[in-house]
Structures are given as C-alpha cells and as structure tokens.
C-alpha cells in the first residue's frame, strides 16, 4: 500500500523518517522572489541558526513561514517608498510605513480594535497550492494556518494582479464580511515585511471601502504582544 495522507505535503509510508518540505516550499514560492525548492532546506537551516530572537520569548514560531533573519530586523528600520500601484513581486521584502487612504495600525492599536466588537480582521496570507501530478493513491489535505483569533483567513487576494475569478471572490467576500457597508472597519494583515496585506488593503480602498486599516506587523506583531495564534480555516463564503 503506497497511498499516503497529505497535510500540505506528500508523506510516503516507506520514508517515515523523512522531513516534509513541500508546504514550506509552496508558501515561500507563493510569496515570490525566493529560491527554488532544492535550496530551501539549507537556507531555512542557516536562517534558524543565524537569527537569534526569531520568535518572541514564550511565543511559538509561525508554522508556515521560515524563521526571521538578522536582515529582517535591519529592514524594519528602512521602510520602502509607497508605490503608486500594486507590488507585483518580491512580496517578502521591506514594506512602506504608509498606505494612502488607510490607517496604519501599531500592535497596541490593533489590540485595542480587536477587543472591540465590529472590526473585521482579515488575514491574507497565501495558501500553498495543491502539487500537480500527485502519485496515484495520494490524498491531499489543505494545510492549516495559524493566525489571530477571530480573524478571517482570505488567502491569495494580496497578489499584485488578480484573475477575474479571484477579484470577484474578493469583492463578494468583502461585501459579506462588511454586511454591505462601505464604511465597515476592515483590518488587513499578514506578517511583517509582507506586501500581500498592503496590496489587499489598497485594493479594498479602490473597491470603495472607506474605513480600511493596515496592520503592518500582522501576526508577528501580535505574538510580540504576547498573544497566541490559533488555527484558522480558509474562508468558505457566506
């Protein structure tokens, strides 16, 4: 029997001791600008060894992104310039300090909003795709994702260009989550130095939403406050 159950990756029963890297590779490639799969194991190991403080004290590391590196901390001090359009590639790189038309949230401001009812937190972290051409007898199970409790996981809407289908999905989701109110408070987030949330918030503004907020540090900042992350299921619609 060669079939296996997949949790975001293929596990072969004949190779139980192997470590699964396909989910890590899918998430990294989805964020753009990162090396192909053969280089991921060495890079992740190097990053883990060279990055003290990769996760805040007492906080579990984010399960589907590589550890932070020393370069990440340096990049925080040098925000990128705000572009006119959307970010199209290199999604894990320094982000701007601002987003025209949106309120940028600090960790404390995000926590204050989270403790009040009525604000919708939307996590746009991308979902690793199902690998093509899986062996016969292999089952695929969508990978889990950990995020801020009560948030909505709306993956793959933060790319610079969306297909017509994904654009319609994003519009429908926002209409449902906002209950049809263009002034509903919407908080978009991902991780630190993640352009996905910046793009998604900018797109919501262009859709006509007037109370858009961008939580720049996202789930990473949430853990820095000492708050835990919980497992979220992907948004399935109304």
Percentage of residues of the chain with pLDDT beyond 90: 52
Q: Residue 187 pLDDT > 50, yes or no?
A: yes
> For the stretch 197-228, what's the b/e string if a residue is b when 16 or more beta carbons lie within 10 angstroms of its beta carbon?
bbbbbbbbbeeebebbbbbbbbbbbbbeeebe
Distance CA(102)–CA(205), nearest Å, equals 8
pLDDT digits (tens, 9 = 90+) for 157-178: 999 999 999 999 999 999 999 9
* Greater model confidence, 144 or 230: 230
* Greater model confidence, 7 or 65: 65
User: So what's the pLDDT on residue 68?
Assistant: 53
Rounded to 5°, the CA angle 122-82-172 comes to 30
pLDDT digits (tens, 9 = 90+) for 82-136: 888 999 988 889 999 999 999 999 999 999 999 988 999 999 999 877 778 888 8
pLDDT digits (tens, 9 = 90+) for 67-95: 555 555 555 568 888 888 999 988 889 99
Q: Which CATH number is associated with domain 18-232?
A: 3.40.250.10
User: So what's the pLDDT on residue 128?
Assistant: 77
Structural tokens at position 38: 């053969």
Q: What is the average pLDDT value for the chain, to the nearest integer?
A: 76
* Strands 138-141, 4-7: pairing kind: parallel
User: So what's the pLDDT on residue 10?
Assistant: 33
Q: Residue 11 pLDDT > 90, yes or no?
A: no
Give the ranges where the chain is alpha helix by DSSP (H).
22-31, 40-50, 70-76, 107-114, 164-177, 195-206, 218-224
- The answer to whether 158 and 199 are in contact (CB under 8 A) is yes
Quick check: helix, strand or coil at residue 55? Answer: coil
């Amino acid at each position: 029997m060669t079939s296996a159950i997949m949790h975001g990756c293929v596990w072969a029963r004949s190779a139980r001791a192997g470590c699964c890297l396909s989910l890590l590779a899918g998430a990294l490639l989805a964020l753009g600008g990162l090396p192909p799969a053969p280089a991921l194991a060495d890079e992740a190991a190097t990053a883990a060894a060279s990055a003290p403080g990769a996760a805040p004290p007492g906080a579990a590391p984010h399960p589907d992104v590589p550890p932070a590196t020393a370069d990440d901390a340096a990049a925080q001090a040098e925000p990128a310039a705000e572009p006119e359009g959307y970010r199209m590639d290199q999604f894990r790189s320094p982000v701007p300090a601002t987003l025209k038309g949106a309120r940028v949230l600090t960790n404390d401001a995000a926590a204050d909003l989270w403790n009040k009812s009525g604000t919708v937190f939307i996590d746009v972290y991308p979902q690793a795709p199902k690998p093509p051409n899986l062996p016969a007898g292999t089952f695929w199970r969508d990978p889990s994702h950990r995020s801020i409790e009560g948030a909505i996981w709306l993956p793959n809407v933060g790319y610079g260009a969306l297909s017509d289908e994904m654009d319609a999905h994003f519009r429908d989701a926002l209409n449902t989550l906002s209950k049809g109110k263009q002034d509903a408070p919407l908080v978009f987030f991902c991780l630190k130095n993640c352009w996905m949330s910046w793009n998604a918030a900018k797109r919501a503004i262009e859709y006509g939403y007037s109370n858009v907020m961008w939580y720049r540090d996202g789930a990473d900042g949430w853990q820095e406050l000492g708050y835990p992350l919980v497992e979220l299921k992907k948004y399935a619609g109304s």
